[in-house]
Structure 1
Amino acid sequence: MIKEGFQQAKRSLKCEDCEADLVIVGGGMAGTCCAITAARQGLEVVLVQDRPVLGGNGSSEIRLWILGATSHMGNNNRWSREGGVIDEILIENLYRNPEGNPLILDTILIEKVSQEPNIRLLLNTSMYDLEKGEEDEISKVHAFCSQNATRYRIKAPLFADASGDGIMAFLAGAAFRIGAETADEFDEKFAPDKKTYGELLGHSLYFYSKDTGKPVRFVAPTYANKELASLPRFKSFNLKDHGCRLWWVEYGGRKDTIHESETIKWELWRVIYGIWDHLKNSGDFPEMATHTLEWVGTIPGKRESRRFEGEFMLSQKDLVQQRTFPDAVSVGGWALDLHPADGVYGDLPGCTQWHTKGVYQIPLRCMYSKNIKNLFLAGRIISATHVAFGSTRVMATCAHNAQAVAMAAMLCKEHSLLPAALNHPAYLPELQKRLLRSGQYIPGFRLEDEQDLAGQASISVSSTMALHGLPANGPWKNLSFATAQLLPLKIGQVPAITFQLKTEEPAHIKVVLLKSGKKGNFTPELILAEKEFDLALGEQSLLVDFKYIIEETEYYFVAFYANEKVQIRSSKSRMTGLLTVFQKFNKAVATSSRQEAPEGIGMDSFDFWLPERRPEGQNLAFELDQPLNLYEKAFLLNGIFRPYITTNAWAADQHDTEPFIELKWDKTQKIRKIYLFFDTDSDHALESTLMGHPESEIPFCVKYFKICDDSGNCLEEVTDNHQTRYQLNLSKPVATKSLKIILQHPSTSVPAALFGVLCY
């Protein structure tokens, strides 16, 4: 036993000193992905998280879905899902948790972190103080764990603040902003009116209900707000939604979103229990009689507080004009999405979202403090204006940025640099190269790596898919909306295409060839050619020959205008880089199939062309008068690992019974690492929570593959792959003059495809 008598002096808590290469404060999606990335690169990491679980707003404590550039697949950002660790997590969550249970996501995040021996995870531990070595440099942070009554003093040369409110950056004295900039400071015409709209986004709180099958009484707590039904907001939302579909239950934008956070939470509780009281006791919802409250959040999801100043501040025009940066390290694409400060108590719509025509680059200079020389910025606190923050704040974007921070920290350690020094031609290409190799998506960049042995090999394949068309074996689709087949076409004559149509009465149909105004975008703005046809009664083949010469290799839209009288045949075949889109809208992120931006807000007007989610999402059936070579073996070495401009994938012929790729060198190579990049449909948003998905594995992804050396020795055989990127680390280098990668087709309707091979 322990027995200790009275002491006159104050007792001290246990205190532990720690050292690391990188200290990360905040274990949301940004901090988690930053820690995993840094640890895998070889950095010793301490991850300080003030909650009992990881994931922040995506965790089971708050239960918001993880989203980013794909925006619920409700914008024109095709194949834009973020890469690297955040992609790995979302794919693993799909595999284990297609139902979208946030508790399972918790286990995945904890597992990913605990598998990394270089990470020391401090849960339930709050950073509360720090020490400076110099006025512009952090030397140590102080943290306290309430569960083990231990204080920590953590020393490191580099620090990353992913805490959401920026507690470390704030205590260190870094320059920051709260609220909205004026329209003229950065020439941002979408800057909000501070009086009527407000300067800050509020907090949200969610709840889940459950049907018990028997009557359930609800007695509202005395603090429930029973006057909510009279509010304007209640007339335009579905009160029977639950979970993060209740994002509009928002409050606090007129308050101090840091120091009054608990006050905001209490008001949100009043709102939530008021909603439930109305559903249960107003008499307007008899179908809710058997429902009970299953879960109500105790921690609100916080959108906005401090933003810290870096060497560059991202602003509206950077996003809308898709400006390019030499130090680009990440991608964004969520709408510029601002919320009125009055939230649920206001009479304005719950949000104002304006989409860009495509994705945008995010530069490294936004991700470190301009004042504190060894401090990285991660998560929602990066250097951006309030308007740009409306897009960069979402979790997948925050996580993707944080992966760049982690890789930058590794370069800092290797070269004894501070973050700002990386913004130099001597280091930026190496940083971008390592990010691309890790699966990071940087729009407009390709991996060019002189160390990659695959790029020095001659490559042969068992077969190559030539696209003659897609069989007419899928359902008929009514042309209720304009419908387009996306095709990556090369310079030259557009092939003549035959489609299958059906009509119950004679009809007129118009077909157009469209492309985007900016190469690499998927917003069809330019009409290149058009044809009109009169259709007879019944089923018929329609030959569409635009007789048009293409001048740029990129994606084109073969689009049918809407006609309710007409149906078009689809195909069950799914192919990497092929997609059908429709001119309609996703009500989760838009209110019309065309974004009509008012004059004077600096946003573009354009049509939305959206894919359908599986199990829908079939391509159109068609036949080509000449085959398209969309899947060349050279794409395996071009350093782009998703569809962009073209498919960027090699695909085997569907009739090839043993597809393989073989790399050969003139002399023996010593190979220790092999990377393979598979197709996990980066167009799919993969929402982590609530929505659920119809599948646990992406149908394009190769499950079985085998890698052999020049003697036929099997270096690796995988039978259940579901990830985008596979990395084989050999315990000792293999000496070989060739590598053979054998794959199996994912299914009879999906040919085996691969985006890239790297060898080191």
Structure 2
Amino acid sequence: MRNETVKTDIAVIGGGLAGVNAAIAAARLGRTVALVNNRPVLGGNSSSEVRVWVCGATAHGTQRYARETGIMGELFVENQFRNKDGNPYFWDMVVLEAVRAEPNIQLYLNTDVHEVEADGEAHDRTIRAAIGWMMGSERRIRFESAVYLDCTGDGLVGFLAGAKYRLGREARAEFGEEWAPEAADEIMLGSTLLFYTKDAGHPVKYTPPRMAIDVTKTTIPERRIIRSGDNGCAYWWIEWGGEHDAVHDNERIRDELWSVIYGIWDYIKNSGKFDADNMTLEWVGSLPGKREYRRFVGDYVLNQNDILAQREFDDRVAFGGWSIDLHPPQGVYATESGSKHLFPDGIYHVPFRSLYSVNVSNMLMAGRDISASHVAFGTTRVMATCAVIGEAAGTGAALCAAKGISPRELHGSHLRELQQTLLRQDASIIGLRSDDETDLARGARVFASSERSRFGIEQPAYAIPLHADIGITVPVDPALDGIELLVDADAQTTLVVELWDTGRPENYVPHAKLAEASVALSAGSLQWAKLGLSWTPVTACNAFLVVKANEALALHISDRPSSGVLAYRRSEQTGTSRPNEEHQPGQPLVEWRKHEFDHAAPCIRLTAPTEAFAADKAIDGYLRPYGGPHLWSSERMTAARLEWLELTWSEPVPIRELHLVFNDDVNDDLINLHHHITPYETMPTLVKDYRVEAREGGAWATIAEGRGNYKRKNVLRLDAPIQTDRLRIVVEMTNGSEYAEIVEVRVYA
């Protein structure tokens, strides 16, 4: 046996996606990091050991423009490029290689931290060391750091340090949460085991083990959806343990879940109700995926009202968008639906005060154990949201370590620096504008080879009958002055379109009706119907157009969609109740569904010119859609004209580093495993080949280039600084889009 001491600036305990993102964020800011994980692979519940889908703010495509950026976004895009089919082992490698690419990270796998040295009074504790045992190597390792991050999920490090925490459900009166119980209790969400199946190509016998339950003697076949071809997270509802202690009863919970899985497989194989003769079990999990345990208390406890009101915290550092998603305590044996869901009207914000301990001065937390009520935890718990919270916490930890201050002091005196650092990293924050004084691009004038000032989607692929209302969001910048829609009319009729605002820049649902217009149409095909809808908002924003249902009309749809435009079909059911999930009525995100129009959009023209895609959008400080697309888009690319974006300064400036953010369409829902397969390896909207030119001595010279790019953010560091008053990014080819698009350009000396 060996005793070792590891000294780093920061110790991140827990190697799930929250810990991975925290460690990478801190390391990229120059801090030394020990990343300690008690399992042989990284990724936590998303790893090949558990195989839970990485869900996040997109909510499987329910939210709009909500896919995470920053480090989690990098992992999504990298996995899409390397592992489109969602092999769980390849996902393990994507995560591992992202960590090993950072020289400032020391990685310790199979290392279980079970001792913490901390001192101080109960209200002001300080962690001095965390001690772990590396299984299989007989190494007892003492981790000494200035700052600690508890990313363990179960909150063991903070618990051992004396951090204040909560277990179970708060009483309704504590935060005024409608979904909280009248009285507080210790009920939590349960744990899950998953399984994979395959077709063996020949009949396969199945004799259930003695532990398998007879599911026909339970409510499972009646209350849950069982299909022979489903795999993995399609069986997320195999959940149990909500009325038990998820940690101390972990072995009992695992055995019960095994008995359910082998019983369900007996039902599929031997009941005669399924075409499953050739099916066999390929993999059954043995490590329960825990949903909930300790939640630490921070300077702020995020609650249901914050989520539904989309409260814009001054200290917001991350966002989420998954529904408040709570499950019955009895889990798989419950007679009610397996989950109930409640969405805000768009994404919600997470404050930094929920990411550090109220009483342990040098501890931050990220993942399932942040400071949130049980109800709010119902949405913050999903892994991509845990990951972006991890990036925020890791960035905060790096600044604390560099300045020798506590997270609370960072919040009090350096909050703007924290937020601006996150924006520079392309992190997942919505509605905050970058105003980095060191970014030379902010002082430049911007020109382009062309701008998409006349907006139209004009290439029809098919038509859909207007059996239901169709919604369309379009950018209004600076004004809307008439629209045209491409329709077919079976008979003489009237097309009616309503104009609504969206209420908030980050929302994409109808909020308040502003106007209505109609046009009489004769029978005929491929008619451009003109409607006189006008609106000049105070600031640029999105309009929500409601094309009213009309059985005599069909609306033409293009399979060549455009940035800035989304479409939706209005559902007659504002709430749904199914065996596996129940959606509360009155939720606009559920009422207006966009899945039918993924990678498609109605044929529409805006009569007035638009500035939504102007060249200066690439330096306006917004990295994501927010009341508009916030990117430069060229006109349709042609072989006769190269598209470029040019920055000019009144005097030459020194340039050493360039940050280019290309459009990877954050409306497109990516996932790490097999929930669905996005049809392409690389986002078509991304720039593929480009070069950067600087004006030197009266001529353009190439100073950097990118070839075969499939990433959103490119950081280009020059071998030696240059002086120039003109810089140009020339787009030679995209990954499939007809338009050259750049979200942001930053320039540093």
| TM-score bracket relative to the smaller structure | over 0.9
Q: 1: distance between equivalents of 2:492 and 2:618?
A: 47
Q: What's the offset of the Cα at 1:328?
A: 1.0
Whole-Å Cα distance in 2 between the matches of residues 265 and 311 of structure 1? 35
Computed over aligned residues only, the root mean square deviation of the Cα atoms, in angstroms, reads 2.4
Q: Percent of aligned pairs with the same residue?
A: 35
Q: Which deviations, in whole Å up to 9, do the C-alpha atoms of 1:173-194 show, x marking residues without a partner?
A: 1011110000001111111367
| Gap change, CA 1:126 and 1:623, over 3 Å in 2 | same
* Partner in structure 1 of residue 634 of structure 2: 652
Change (3 A) 1:339 1:319: same
The residue identity in structure 2 corresponding to 1:702 is V
SS in 2 for 1:407: helix
CA distance in 2, matches of 1:606, 1:452: 37
Does residue 116 of structure 2 align to residue 130 of structure 1?
yes
Alignment partner, residue 668 of structure 1? 652
Deviations 1:224-249 (A, max 9, x none): 11135631564441333221111111
C-alpha distance in structure 2 between counterparts of 1:383 and 1:233, whole Å: 37
2:488·2:553 contact (CA, 8 Å) conserved in 1? Answer: yes
Are the aligned partners of 1:531 and 1:544 in contact in 2 as well (CA < 8 Å)? no
Helix, strand or coil: the match of 1:467? coil
Aligned mates of 2:71, 2:577 — CA distance in 1: 29
Residue 709 of structure 1, CA deviation: 2.3
CA-CA distance at 1:250 after TM superposition: 0.6
**Distance in 1 (alpha carbons) for counterparts of 2:395 and 2:171:** 34
1:623 counterpart residue number: 605
Question: Which deviates the most, 716-725 or 153-162?
Answer: 716-725
Match of 2:85 in 1: 99
Separation (CA, whole Å) in 2 of partners of 1:563 and 1:226:
51
C-alpha distance 581-45 of structure 1, shift in aligned 2 (>3 A): same
Q: Of residues 258, 281, 303 in structure 1, which corresponds to 2:270?
A: 281
User: 2:616 matched to which residue of 1?
Assistant: 634
For residue 713 of structure 1, give the secondary structure of its aligned residue in structure 2: strand
Q: 1:688 aligns with which of 668, 672, 677?
A: 672
Q: Contact between 2:476 and 2:542, CA under 8 Å: does it hold in 1? A: yes
The CA distance in 2 between the partners of 1:300 and 1:108, in whole Å, is 23
Q: CA deviation digits over 1:534-573, x for unaligned, max 9?
A: 5443314243423433334311122212345532112243
C-alpha distance in structure 2 between counterparts of 1:109 and 1:456, whole Å: 38
Asked whether 1:56 is paired with 2:44, we answer: yes
**Cα deviation code 1:686-727 (max 9, x no counterpart):** 121112221111111111111122233322211211111111
Equivalent residue number for residue 625 of structure 2: 643
Displacement of 1:627: 2.9
User: What is the distance in 2 between the residues matched to 1:157 and 1:82?
Assistant: 29
Match among 383, 406, 414 for residue 427 of structure 1: 414
Q: Is the 8 Å Cα contact of residues 452 and 613 (structure 2) preserved in structure 1? A: yes
Give the match's secondary structure for 2:346. Answer: coil
2:453 is the alignment partner of 1:466: yes
| Contact 1:580 1:617 (C-alpha < 8 Å) held by counterparts | no
SS in 2 for 1:302: coil
**TM-score when scaled to structure 1?**
0.92
> What residue in structure 1 maps to residue 143 of structure 2?
154
After TM superposition, the structure 1 stretch with the greater mean CA deviation from structure 2, 302-311 or 501-510, is: 501-510
User: Which amino acid in structure 1 is aligned with residue 50 of structure 2?
Assistant: I
AA aligned to 1:742 is: V
Moved more, 561-570 or 414-423: 561-570
8 Å Cα contact 1:204/1:250 also seen in 2: yes
Q: Which runs of 5+ in 1 are unaligned?
A: 1-12
Contact 1:233–1:344 under 8 Å retained in 2: no
Do the aligned residues in 2 keep the contact of 1:198 with 1:341 (CA within 8 Å)?
Answer: no
Residue 585 to residue 428, structure 1, CA distance change in 2 (3 Å) = farther
2: CA distance between counterparts of 1:366 and 1:220?
47
Q: Deviations over 1:617-668 (max 9, x none)?
A: 3121123333323211111111111211112111112145211112222333
Q: Is residue 702 of structure 2 the alignment partner of residue 702 of structure 1?
A: no
Cα pair 2:353 2:411 within 8 Å, conserved = yes
1:447 corresponds to which residue? 434
Compared CA separation, residues 264 and 132, structure 1 to 2 (3 A):
same
Tell me which moved more, 342-351 or 666-675.
666-675
**1:502 equivalent among 484, 488, 507:** 488
CA distance in 2, matches of 1:637, 1:589: 43
Partner residue, 1:577: 564
Q: In structure 2, what is the equivalent of residue 609 of structure 1? A: 592
The residue that corresponds to 2:234 in the other structure is 245
Give the aligned partner of residue 111 of structure 1: 97
Tell me if the contact between 1:332 and 1:362 (Cα under 8 Å) persists in the aligned partners: yes
Q: Given residue 6 of structure 2, which amino acid in structure 1 is its aligned partner? A: C
Helix, strand or coil for the counterpart of 2:664?
coil
Report if aligned partners of 1:207, 1:272 keep a CA contact under 8 Å in 2.
yes
Which of 345, 350, 353 is the equivalent residue of 1:357?
345
Normalised to the residue count of structure 2, the TM-score between the two structures is 0.94
Q: How many residue pairs align between the two structures?
A: 736
- Matched residue, 2:188: 200
Which residue is 1:256 aligned to?
A: 245
Cα offset for 1:128? 0.8
Q: Which piece of structure 1 moves more, 109-118 or 726-735? A: 726-735
Query: Amino acid of the residue matched to residue 646 of structure 2?
Result: E
SS of residue paired to 1:628: coil
What are the Cα deviations for residues 90-132 of structure 1, in whole angstroms up to 9, with x where unaligned? 0111111111111111010011111111111111110010112
For 1:485 and 1:100, how far apart are their aligned partners in 2? 32
- 2:107 and 2:573 map into 1 onto residues whose CA distance is 39
SS of alignment partner, residue 368 of structure 2: helix
Alignment match of 1:746 (pick from 706, 724, 734): 734
Residue segments in structure 2 that go unaligned for 5+ positions in a row: none
Q: Mapping of 1:284-683 within 5 angstroms?
A: 284-285=273-274, 287-424=275-412, 426-492=413-479, 494-505=480-491, 509-533=495-519, 535-552=521-538, 553-584=540-571, 597=584, 608-612=591-595, 616-655=598-637, 657-683=641-667
- In the other structure, the counterpart of 1:223 is 211
Change (3 A) 1:523 1:626: closer
Specify the code of the residue in structure 1 equivalent to 2:383.
M
Query: In structure 2, what is the Cα distance between the partners aligned to 1:225 and 1:694?
Result: 39
User: Using the alignment, how far apart are the partners of 2:314 and 2:482 within structure 1?
Assistant: 41
CA distance in 2, matches of 1:524, 1:439: 29
Match in the other structure for 1:4: none
- The one of 725, 728, 733 equivalent to 2:721 is 733
Counterparts of 1:606 and 1:624 in 2: how far apart (Å)?
25
In structure 2, give the amino acid aligned to 1:254.
Answer: E
Q: Distance in 1 between matches of 2:279 and 2:584?
A: 41
Tell me the secondary structure at the aligned position of residue 674 of structure 1. Answer: strand
Q: Aligned equivalents of 2:147 and 2:606: distance in 1?
A: 57
Q: 1:749 to 1:419 in 2, by over 3 A?
A: closer
- Pairwise CA distance, 1:264: 0.5
Q: Does the Cα contact within 8 Å between 2:576 and 2:584 map onto a contact in 1?
A: no
Do the aligned residues in 1 keep the contact of 2:577 with 2:583 (CA within 8 Å)? no
- 1:368-393 Cα deviation digits (max 9, x unpaired): 11111000111110000001100111
